[in-house]
Amino acid sequence: MELQTRSVISPIGTLCLYASGPALVALALPGGDEELRAWLARRFGDFRTRSESDPAGAASALRAYFAGELAALDRIEVDPGGTSFQRSVWMELRRIPPGTAISYACLASRVRRPKAMRAVGAANGSNPIPLVLPCHRVVAADGTLCGYGGGLEAKQWLLVHEKALASGAWRLELPSSQLPLL
């Protein structure tokens, strides 16, 4: 198996991209490349890498995203692997629009597993394609930042970049079961 790869310098550090054919299969945040390569070996077995200028179009889409074109990541075809439950969580992440943060409870409701917040959190934490499958848009129920493989500073930078910070408070979308009663 041969994967196309490229490193991209970004405001949150160097990102390492891995693609198979037309689909991005992994993205390593700064400091996470060794762990991600081990995950790729479990998924694909023995693999080699070949440097390519724009694997799966992800390098150019990431540059556009960091330049302010927030919808650019939606153009990237992805193949994250994983279990059917993990894929349901990861693909639901793509439905969270830039500028919005949701709670783990909201994400669990969206995948029709409202009582599985911990399982949803674990799937979110094992996301092999962060940024493109925007797990940084998931925050604690009270709106505080928690758990991000790239570090909380990077998560905060991404949310500010996407303008999820409005009037000093996160725009947090909650499931109807968590809305305050009026």
Instruction: Enumerate the active-site residues.
Output: 135
Structure tokens at 2: 């041969």
Residues 158, 40: Cα–Cα separation, whole Å:
25
Pairing relationship of beta strands 23-28 and 13-20 according to DSSP bridges: antiparallel
Helix orientation angle between 84-93 and 117-125, rounded to the nearest 10 degrees: 80
Angle at 94 between CA 34 and CA 82, to 5 degrees: 45
Residues 174 and 105: beta-carbon distance below 8 Å: yes
State in Å, rounded, how far the first CA of the chain is from the last one.
57
> CA-CA distances (angstroms) from residue 91 to 39, 130, 169?
19, 12, 26
